[in-house]
Every structure is written in structure tokens, then in C-alpha cells.
Structure 1
């Protein structure tokens, strides 16, 4: 009987997970459809921006234009879907949380959208022009004529913007996992060397191969990690204080019951 109940519980969990995945996929598809309506103005803005000036983009295949529109629509859908996805994750794990943990972790969801936009702005207005200037300088020194396809230009753009934007979610992710008691500042400090190595590796990979570009991306990423540790410590102290208060109430209730 116990085994049957346990199997039913596992089945219910899988059914709940499937439902959440369907919700996320549905929102992504709707966002993708909406993204096609904003793809053209976004494309025109990106091609008329200062970083794109001086480049004459070419289509080398019949599908290049459609492919770029799809990438823009996909990015738009990702921006819309990301906070909804985090909310669905919260809905899935919330039954196993305490009421105060459920309330504490829910408040992080709206900031997912905000931090992604901040990361997007930093990547597009700081990292991307820097990377583009570096590659253009090398091309000029080699005496090459810059003739780019629109596919190559936007693949280069999205290849930088998307990873950096997602990395800006790091502080929020750390706070969320701390709220779920999966991480804590003690563990984060112990794994600092490994985290630094991973972040430095990411900075080197997503930027042009020169020290200045690597440094300009590396420093914000390391600062993001330290901010994450600091915020995790705040959440962790609140958890400890709440646990102590709950324990004190439990002891007081037991003492009153014993006295009565």
C-alpha cells in the first residue's frame, strides 16, 4: 500500500512537471509569434545603430533574411518566457517549501526580466561594439576588405549578447537557490576558485582574443559573483534568524504545555 502511494506520488510529480513544461512551451510559441511582429523594427534599429554603420550587409542565401527574423523573434520570445519559466519552476517546487520560503523565493521572479534587460544592454552597448572594433582593426591591418553577410553579422551579435545577458542572472539564481536551501554563502566561498576559473573561461570565450576585451568582461562577471555571495549571505542570515525564532516558539509552546 505504501509502495503504491509512493508510485502514485511519483506519477503525480511527473504529471505536474509535464504540465509546467507545456505551459512554458506554449508561452514560448506565443512569444515567437509576437516576435515576428517586432522583428522588422528591431532589425532596422540594429542595422541603423552606430555599431553597424560602415557595414554593407549581404544575403548569401535565400533563407538569410528569414533566419535573422527568426533569431530576433526567438530572442524576443526568450525575454518574455524567461520570468514565466522561473515562475513555473517555483510553482513546481513550492509544495515542498515552507510558507515563508515560498513567499521569499517568489519575490525573485520579477527581477529575472529586469536583470536580463540590464545584461542585454551591457552586452549590446559595451561588449559588442568593443568586439566589433577589435575584429575590424585586425581585418584592416591584414589589408582585407570587409564584406559581411547579414547571417554572419547577426550570428556574431547574438553569440555575444545572449550569453552575457544570461550571465547577469547569476545573482538572482544564487539568491533563489539559497532561498531553497540548496546553496549558502559558506559553500559559495569554498567554491570561489572554481567559480572564478569558470567565469574567466567564459569571459575569454565570448570576447575577442585580446587582454583588454577579456578584462572588460571578466571584471563585471567576477563582481557579479561576489555580489551573489553577498546577497546569498543576507538571505542565509534571514533563514537562520527565522529558524531560531521558530525553534524558540516551539520550545516556549512545549514549556507552556508541560506547565499546564
Structure 2
């Protein structure tokens, strides 16, 4: 390939990447519009559940209400955009993959959406009430009067829930990379100490600055990693079995008595 052809190929790839990024941004914008339309009923639900009934939320700034609506809209937009982004990523890299790799990658796209929703549900219904209950108990034991702003309440919620939802994609990523033979369970086990340290660091960074929130996010992340290792083992065993079957068939075709 000449330098000119190679340069054209790079330009074409950059143009393709730019086009797919524009598609993702367009869907994100559409998701924000849908999120703003749905923001009020979602807000009414969030403040009507048991974990919010004990609080009288206040607005401390003129933009608190709008800011809260925008946060809800962004979460809705993420829910709609993440699977579309995964598909666009697949469409961009698929020409460079083998047929079996393309099928493997495409098969995982719907689960991106499912795991993200599962992460939101786990973060909101499990981690958030526990963290909220712990912090409010400490506040009451200190004899402090609880006066919470709507911005602080929803910032605390989204800071916990959204990162957990994103990190719930870890098993899927590990399965996909194992399917492509980039990772395997042996390598993941060797990386366990480093991975644990990285996950603990992520948990500390993404959570509010209190020990219980760090703990409540760290434990699920470590369990997710171990679950990812298990799933990698399942995929890896199937790969080994398939390789052995292919080798046995090849020997049979070659007339090998063994």
C-alpha cells in the first residue's frame, strides 16, 4: 500500500469515527430531551419511596430544581445511549474482526443495557438506602438538626448509583475479552491483587467521603470481579473444548490413528 493510500485509509477511519461519534451525541441529545420530559414523574417517584419520605428537601439556590431535573435527564440519557454506543463501537471495529469475533461482540450488546439497569437497581435499592441510613444515624447521634437541600440529596444519590451502574459492565467486558482470547481466568487470577487495589481505589474516588460508602461500594465491586473470573472460566473452558474438538477432527481427517 502506498503512502497516499495509507493516508486515505487513515482519513477514512477518522471520518468513520467522527460520524459514529456524531450519532452517539445525537442519541445522547435525544435522550436528554426524553429525560427532561420524564424528569418530573421520575422525581415524584424518587421522593415518594421509603428512603426519601423522612426528609423534607429544600432548595438553597434558584438553580437547584433545574439542576436536579438535568441530573435525572442525564441518567435517562445514559440508559438510552450506552447500548447504542456499544453498537456503534462494534460497528466501527467489526471490519477488522473475524466473523466469529463479530458475532461474539454483537451478541453482548443487549446485555450492556440489561447490566446497566441492574447496576442502577442495585445501587438505588441496596447501596443508597444503606449509605443514607448510616449517615443520617450518625447525624442524629451527634444531635444535629437534619436540613437537606435537594441538590445535596440527589448528588449523594447519583454519586453512588451511576458509577455502580457503569461498573456493573465489568463481567460483560471480561467475558468479551476472554472470547477474543485477550484475557483468560489464569491471567485474571494472577492480576487479582492489582485488580483489587484498583477497584478499592475506584470505590474511594467515586463515593462520598465517608468510610461506610466506600465499604458498601467496594464489596460489590470485589464480588463483581470474582463473578467476572467465574464467567471467564466458563468461556475459557468452552474454548478449550472447541479447540480439542477441532484438533481431533483434524487428526481424523489426516488419518492419525490417535
Q: Given the two structures, how large is their TM-score scaled by the length of structure 1?
A: 0.88
Instruction: Report SS of the residue matched to 1:107.
Output: helix
**Cα drift, residue 72 of structure 1:** 0.2
Q: Match for residue 218 of structure 2? A: 218
Moved more, 202-211 or 223-232: 202-211
1:142-165 deviation digits (Å, cap 9, x = unpaired) = 211111110111001100111111
Are 1:175 and 1:232, in contact at CA under 8 Å, matched by a contact in 2?
yes
Q: Match for residue 100 of structure 2? A: 100
Are 2:159 and 2:208, in contact at CA under 8 Å, matched by a contact in 1?
no
- 5+ long unaligned stretches in structure 2: none
Are 2:156 and 2:208, in contact at CA under 8 Å, matched by a contact in 1?
no
Instruction: Report SS of the residue matched to 1:144.
Output: coil
Q: Match for residue 155 of structure 2? A: 155
What are the within-5 Å matches in structure 2 for residues 77-156 of structure 1?
Answer: 77-156=77-156
Shift in CA distance, 75/100, structure 1 to aligned 2, threshold 3 Å: same
Q: Match for residue 195 of structure 2? A: 195
Shift in CA distance, 37/171, structure 1 to aligned 2, threshold 3 Å: same
**Cα drift, residue 130 of structure 1:** 0.8
1:64-114 deviation digits (Å, cap 9, x = unpaired) = 111100100000000011111111111111111111111112111101111
**Cα drift, residue 243 of structure 1:** 5.4
**Cα drift, residue 249 of structure 1:** 7.4
**Cα drift, residue 191 of structure 1:** 0.9
Shift in CA distance, 7/87, structure 1 to aligned 2, threshold 3 Å: same
Aligned counterparts of 2:107 and 2:14: Cα–Cα separation in 1: 26
Q: Match for residue 6 of structure 2? A: 6
What are the within-5 Å matches in structure 2 for residues 156-195 of structure 1?
Answer: 156-195=156-195
**Cα drift, residue 217 of structure 1:** 3.7
Aligned counterparts of 1:26 and 1:75: Cα–Cα separation in 2: 16
RMSD, aligned α-carbons: 2.3
Q: Given the two structures, how large is their TM-score scaled by the length of structure 2?
A: 0.89
**When the two structures are aligned, how many residues end up with a matched partner?**
254
Moved more, 66-75 or 113-122: 113-122
Instruction: Report SS of the residue matched to 1:182.
Output: coil
Aligned counterparts of 1:207 and 1:195: Cα–Cα separation in 2: 22
Aligned counterparts of 1:108 and 1:132: Cα–Cα separation in 2: 34
**Cα drift, residue 179 of structure 1:** 2.7
